[in-house]
Structure 1
Amino acid sequence: MMKMKITTLLALLLCSSLLAFSQPAEKRVKVIVAPDHADWTYRTGEKVKFTIQVLKDGNPVKNVNVRYEIAPEKMEPLLKASAVFENGSKTLPEKSMQQAGFLRCIATATVDGKDYRGLATAAFNPLDIQPVATVPDDFDTFWNNAKAENAKIPMDVRMTLLPERCTENVNVYQVSIQNYRYGARVYGILCVPKKEGKYPAILKVPGAGVYPFYGEVGLAAQGYITLEIGIHGIPVNMDPGVYKDLMNGALNGYWNANLDDKDNYYYKRVYLGCVRAIDYIFSLPQFDGSNLAVMGGSQGGALSIVTTALDNRVKWLVAFYPALCDVTGYLHGRAGGWPHMFAKENLNFNNKKDKINTAQYYDVVNFARRVKVPGFYSWGFNDETCPPTSMYAAYNVINAPKTLFLAQETGHWTYGEQWEQQQAWLKEKMK
């Protein structure tokens, strides 16, 4: 019976997650770029040959104009050109990298007056990538003190039943918990099985942006407490237009807020809010007191790693394409992680000693070094939002048990197979 429950639970988790991270819509015209190794992986110094194909309804497009470039991801091109592909395809000159990293080919074809884009990214010794982020001498002291100060603030929990979202088997609440300072709060949607008993829990941490949450009712119906939190200290069940206005207004570029002050940087309250959410889960009488997983993608992937490092009550973590990894990579001639605050276009604003210093206290790399529990990780080589160079910089310093499932072709999205693998992993851990 328990096995059936867990299987159904994970299937529902798969479905709900796919809604959040589905792949891009198909188009009649496809620009297919591929390296000549099936696994897209090379040794440093080895040559890669990229082939570009332009297809319409599955057939080559004749005499198509294509612009293309090859470059280390996010860096200046090694090759940039355009040509007419008489037969709809072309193999480009060989290129290589002498150090561990990623080499990306981007192609844009013009068909019937419209541009279509494709890319592929070759990995060179990715498991040898090491971070450029440095660990401040007082990193652990800083975060231990921050957690201790936060623990002194009463949770002052407020729960509001959302009857329209409740089901026969699940109660759904908006909850808010005091966090960071008196009067500041972290909001979320809590789903709890109605049947009396003790249940394991999942904390879901959000991707970037400002938007409402709906809660994981299906998971709770199968015997899990779920808490899906926001990070901005605002209710998570308002009209969607409110969040759009906030993202375009007061919260626009929130990831840069107070970057010159490590004690007041925006993400300090966010990271502590994730720990405060765990405090709350452990206070619930329905929680079994032990079994807790944290999961998310992009910014949520970063928060999964950070939360696990900050709080030893987490037993398992799931991180899809984590952001905020090795963000100062750009200052060392290679791609850094989202939100790219030190990329060339942002250097005039952010390339300052105090901002660089603050970033080290919040870089996911420095939390990854402190992860001690099993984790499932998944991403693709074509991710232009969270560059794989930055993600490997964090992954490679994790010394805890770790499973990496690659879907090389994916960008900042997932195939169903990635979720199936995550499902199997979580099922095995939870059995």
Structure 2
Amino acid sequence: MKILKLLLSIYIVFNSNFSFTQNSPAPIKLVQFVLSPNHSDWNYNLKEEALVKITVLKYGVPIPNTEITYELGNDQMTPDKSGTLTLKSGIGEINIGTLKQPGFRQLKVKTTIDGHTYKNQIKIGFSPFNIKPTVEIPKDFDTFWQQAIESNKSIPSQPVITYKPEYSTPTVDVYLVRLQNYKKGKFIFGYLSKPKDHKKHPVLFHPPGAGVKKIHPVTAFANQGFISFTTEIHGINPELTMKDYKNISNAIGDYWSINLDDKDQYYYKSVYLGCLRAIDFLTSLPEFDGKNVVVTGGSQGGALSIVTAALDKRVTAVSAFYPALCDNSGYVNHRAGGWPHMFSSKYQFATPEKLNTMQYYDVVNFAKRIHIPGFYSTGYNDNTCAPTSVLSAFNSINAKKEIVITPISGHWRFSETNEKSIKWLKQTCAID
């Protein structure tokens, strides 16, 4: 009997493991919501009501008599209306209202079928290219940053460059780089990728997205003709283990809140200055073509791209995707602010001191100082970097600019948008 039980347990374990290993994650949901506004670009005029068609599909076919719950409200705000709706043919429609001021309305829908819950959302723009920022700009904004930049110049960068054959390819050499920044003994790290042809090339700075996490070498830009530098911002060697990174991340916590009540000691001060240090390094390389300096990144990296382009006159072009840290004071003005939503009700951080500090670091105030060509992109369904905040920054730019909006996108982008960005950067730098 014991042997029979043992064989049975082995059989169960083997088959459960076999089933797991043979099951690839499904690329789509079994049940899908399709939300379709009656304007194909998802944009409406002020006071114009928006209608959203709702379809619930299983195997691509509408499910009859589906009951859904829904919530309506302004972008990232508390819903102002909720309810239930039965889709008799699996298809229905909701009027999500309108706005009297430029912004976004958000519809969230949910249904439960066979014990599984399915959700979706859609955000509709009302005169989105007329959205104005709420953040004010301090009178000494330019003086503050000029003094910070001059002070940082007294700290030698002392670059340490280490060739990394394990990351290099037949066409690209990769190096681990350490640069001193902000204070003696404080560093930033990054991976430098250079084409192996020994020719002159444009340089490209690639700042990171948010978080305390390992960065990895990026050779794709070098394969397109750029000398690229992908960095981290926390002074952590990317060759540490994942366990080390997890421990450090837990110790640092919400780094964006560190010293938020002191503009001179705020965490992002060294980060912004570190971006300029990266440009110092790139433009010092003998393979630099001497004229083309571009920056590109997404989310926090998009924010840092705009900041770098505003502060460093050597930068000649910027490409930023759904930038973070835009119009952070939106929440105290009853509308969405940018990541990390520091002044939302979640954190209760909206003290006068913290609001004042953030004026010196808000991406909107840097966007107003951009005078070079720019490529930008965002999606309306982004809840991390809300479109209200992103367009507050984009609308503040008074330079040659273009934007690719894929409204269905959340906090991600399509490969087609990446391709457009690279093509734009190459054309801007006259790379064949």
Residue identity matched to 1:344:
S
Q: Relative contact order: is structure 1 or structure 2 higher (C-alpha 8 Å, sep ≥ 6)?
A: 1
Q: TM-score, normalised by structure 2?
A: 0.91
Taking the aligned partners of 1:52 and 1:177, their CA distance within structure 2 comes to: 53
Matches within 5 A, 1:106-117: 106-117=108-119
2:296 matches 1:295: yes
Larger displacement relative to structure 2 (28-37 or 268-277): 28-37
- 1:395–1:221 Cα change, 3 Å: closer
CA deviation map 1:157-184 (0-9, x unaligned): 1112212112334321111101011110
Q: How does 1:84-123 map to 2 (within 5 A)?
A: 84-93=86-95, 95-123=97-125
CA distance in 2, matches of 1:214, 1:337: 26
Tell me which residue corresponds to 1:282. Answer: 283
Contact 1:32–1:119 (Cα < 8 Å) also in 2: no
Residue 142 (structure 1) aligned to one of 123, 138, 144? 144
Give the corresponding residue for 1:237: 239
SS at structure 2 position matched to 1:50 = strand
Letter paired with 1:414: R
Choose which of 177, 180, 185 in structure 2 pairs with 1:178.
Answer: 180
Aligned residue in 1 for 2:13: none
Q: Does 1:264 align with 2:277?
A: no
- 1:32 is matched with 34
After superposition, the C-alpha distances for 1:23-49 in whole angstroms (9 at most, x for unaligned) are x94222111222211111111111111
| In 1: Cα distance, 2:305 partner to 2:272 partner | 10
Task: Determine helix, strand or coil for the equivalent of 1:250.
Answer: helix
Q: Is the 8 A contact 2:326 2:363 kept in 1?
A: yes
Alignment of 1:38-53 (within 5 A): 38-53=40-55
Q: Which runs of 5+ in 2 are unaligned?
A: 1-25
- In the alignment, residue 338 of structure 1 is paired with which amino acid? W
TM-score (norm 1): 0.91
For residue 392 of structure 2, what is the aligned residue in structure 1? 393
Please give the secondary structure, in 1, of the residue aligned with 2:308: helix
- Equivalent in the alignment of 2:155: 153
Per-residue CA deviations over 1:256-311 (Å, capped at 9, x if unaligned) read 11101101111101100000000111111121222111000000110110000010
Displacement, 1:52? 1.6
Whole-Å separation in 2 of the counterparts to 1:306 and 1:184: 21
Alignment match, 2:21: none
Q: State, as a whole percentage, how many aligned pairs show the same letter.
A: 45
* Alignment partner, residue 362 of structure 1: 361
CA offsets per residue over residues 165-219 of structure 1, 9 Å max, x none?
A: 1233432111110101111011000112333332211110111012222222243
Q: Deviations over 1:219-253 (max 9, x none)?
A: 33454211000011111232233223322x12221
Which residue number corresponds to residue 402 of structure 2?
403
Deviation at 1:57, TM superposition (A): 1.3
Quick check: 193-202 or 146-155, which moved more?
A: 193-202
CA offset at residue 119 of structure 1? 1.1
Query: Counterpart of 1:166 in structure 2: which amino acid?
Result: S
**Counterpart in 1 of 2:336?**
335
3-state secondary structure, aligned to 1:362 = coil
The 2-side partners of 1:176 and 1:366 are apart by: 30
Q: Aligned equivalents of 1:218 and 1:77: distance in 2? A: 43
Unaligned runs of 5+ residues in structure 1 are 1-23
Secondary structure of the structure 1 residue equivalent to 2:174? strand
- In the aligned structure 2, how far is the partner of 1:418 from the partner of 1:314? 22
SS in 1 for 2:269: helix
Count of aligned pairs between the two proteins: 405
Give the 3-state SS of the residue equivalent to 2:144 in structure 1.
helix
Listed as ranges, the matches of 1:182-193 within 5 Å are 182-193=184-195
Aligned residue for 1:325?
326
Contact 1:384 1:412 in 2 (8 A): yes
Point out 4+ residue stretches in structure 1 off by more than 3 angstroms.
none
Please identify, of 178-187 and 76-85, the stretch whose mean Cα deviation from structure 2 is larger.
Answer: 76-85
Counterparts of 1:329 and 1:376 in 2: how far apart (Å)?
24
SS at match of 1:341: coil
Q: Which residue of 1 aligns with 2:310?
A: 309
Instruction: Tell me the equivalent position of 2:209.
Output: 207
Does the aligned pair in 2 maintain the 1:35–1:121 contact within 8 Å? no
